[in-house]
A and B are shown apart, each in its own frame.
Chain A
């Protein structure tokens, strides 16, 4: 029964969690490890779920904390290893080479813009615009007040708007958001 609960969590949020971690960490291997650690950690402490008002921001909080741990403890102290290439260098999926190239270009541009942001701004903006969390849920996820989240999102938007590559990409006519690519 308990495994069923974990399966539900994974089915509901693994993809989004993994891609959220990818956008935060900028590294696929680290993102996979971070998400795995996060789900196992959440699984171990599932008893405290009774005090959690909403499961979704709680899971994101665990994922974000796991990403923080990666960034703070492991990544600065190790050499780059195989498979740690930036995600933008990984070829996009899909059969159409042109579409894959375009997707890789978008991913590379967004990642480059995100990597210019400090973590305190990167995490809220990813949770807001990729994970589609509300400001209130972001506040729960990062353990900050809603006003703090609002100001950080504002600052993150200001900095992203100052990125010429991102603006050019947005001005070139980005495709409408589809259900397939969203979290």
Chain B
């Protein structure tokens, strides 16, 4: 191979260059354009030596840059459109964030505000897991028995309207208030203490004149989790708070929900209807005594049967209310280690459940869209920055290698 030394290369390049005929009017054209345009005109080219431009030609340089920008945008329509979309999204996101920014703190507590809610209209107290060691005791709780004193420190703080008997003024509707009270308590006990705790809860209900409505215990490896049990206690309403406190003392409270519902109006209504029906029955009995024909007797007897049926039906409802207001229901779930999920609410009808599911799904969808909007916007923003930065680096790299 022939070595290409500097002299040979120079010779070849010189001969190659000599083959290119120089335009005869090239220099004259340049002179003419330079003379015709003066200092401020001429070809804008790249705005100076290289691309930097000069400080004494700001307008020409600015115009040149604008033209170059427009030309570049025209050549790269996809990138330009993407950049416009990113800018629009960023502007929209910024405006949206400014418009939607809250003017003050948002209250997220679901607890009723004391003094604003009638204590008898229904009060719910929920103590979430983890707050059981907050210390303190319920303001309305009855004094603890001595055997529960050692667990007082683990009693959760309850600052809402109390789960005890509400203070509806007696005689407001002609008779003492009737309050239906229920509660659900989640207890976590040590390993091997499940049976002992269930037994103590049963004894607790009996000690206060109550009884066990239902009981269920699940243990063993087949359950797929820690053993747990559930027991439903019916205790006299006046002893509800005491029983609740003593039940809490049997373990670590993981969840507590109490609910009090005033059923006085319903109770009085039932009583009034029963009284009216009894009056009607008494009048029909008087009429029956005066009936002379078989037809009259049968007709009155038919009316009396109807009235008697209504009275018995209403009396049954009244008895149920009496039972519910005389005995409070306390459902205690006991688990070893982690507490089991709370028993769900009373099953709803199919249509109501479907409606609730539909509404929940819609809300979940909206939340999902909102939740995704932020990351998507952020990803688009990052993508835009990467594209712009990458293009700048690429141009710089190209310029560097030239």
List residues of A whose CB falls within 8 A of some B CB: 3, 6-7, 10-11, 14-15, 18-20, 22-23, 28, 31-32, 35-45, 47-48, 58, 61-62, 64-66, 68-69, 72-73, 77, 87, 90, 92-93, 103-104, 106-107, 109-111, 118-120, 123, 125-126, 129-130, 132, 142-143, 157, 160-161, 166-171, 174-178, 180-183
- Among the listed A31, A87, A176, A182, which residue makes an inter-chain contact with B19, where contact means beta carbons less than 8 Å apart? A87
Chain B, interface size: which category?
35 or more
In the complex, besides A65-B49, A181-B15, 9 extra interface pairs with C-beta distance below 8 angstroms are A18-B23, A22-B17, A37-B43, A45-B48, A45-B49, A66-B45, A90-B19, A119-B402, A183-B17
List residues of B whose CB falls within 8 A of some A CB: 1-4, 6-23, 26-27, 29-31, 33-35, 37, 39, 42-43, 45-46, 48-51, 54, 56-57, 68, 71, 75, 398-399, 401-402
A1 to chain B, nearest CB (A): 13
| A167 to B8 CA separation, bound complex (whole angstroms) | 10
A58 to chain B, nearest CB (A): 8
Query: B8, B14, B33, B50: which has the most chain A beta carbons within 10 Å?
Result: B14
**A3-B34, A107-B20, A119-B402 known; A35-B26 Cβ under 8 A:** yes
Contact (Cβ within 8 A) A177 B11: yes
Contact (Cβ within 8 A) B31 A130: no
**Which 8 pairs across A and B sit closest by C-beta, in order of nearness?**
A181-B18, A171-B2, A107-B19, A110-B16, A19-B17, A130-B13, A10-B27, A107-B16
Contact (Cβ within 8 A) B20 A19: yes
Q: Chain A interface secondary structure, helix, strand, loop or mixed?
A: helix
**A41-B48, A106-B19 known; A174-B8 Cβ under 8 A:** yes
B394 to chain A, nearest CB (A): 11
**A40-B30, A61-B49 known; A161-B1 Cβ under 8 A:** yes
Contact (Cβ within 8 A) B18 A180: yes
In the complex, the chain B residue whose C-beta lies closest to that of A34 is B45
B306 to chain A, nearest CB (A): 98
Contact (Cβ within 8 A) A107 B4: no
Contact (Cβ within 8 A) B4 A44: no
Contact (Cβ within 8 A) A106 B22: no
| A144 to B3 CA separation, bound complex (whole angstroms) | 28
Contact (Cβ within 8 A) B30 A174: no
**21 interchain pairs (CB within 8 A)?**
A3-B35, A18-B26, A19-B18, A20-B17, A23-B13, A23-B16, A41-B46, A42-B49, A44-B39, A44-B57, A73-B71, A106-B19, A109-B12, A118-B401, A129-B9, A161-B3, A167-B2, A167-B4, A170-B2, A171-B2, A177-B10
In the complex, the chain A residue whose C-beta lies closest to that of B398 is A72
- Among the listed A7, A18, A171, which residue makes an inter-chain contact with B20, where contact means beta carbons less than 8 Å apart? A18
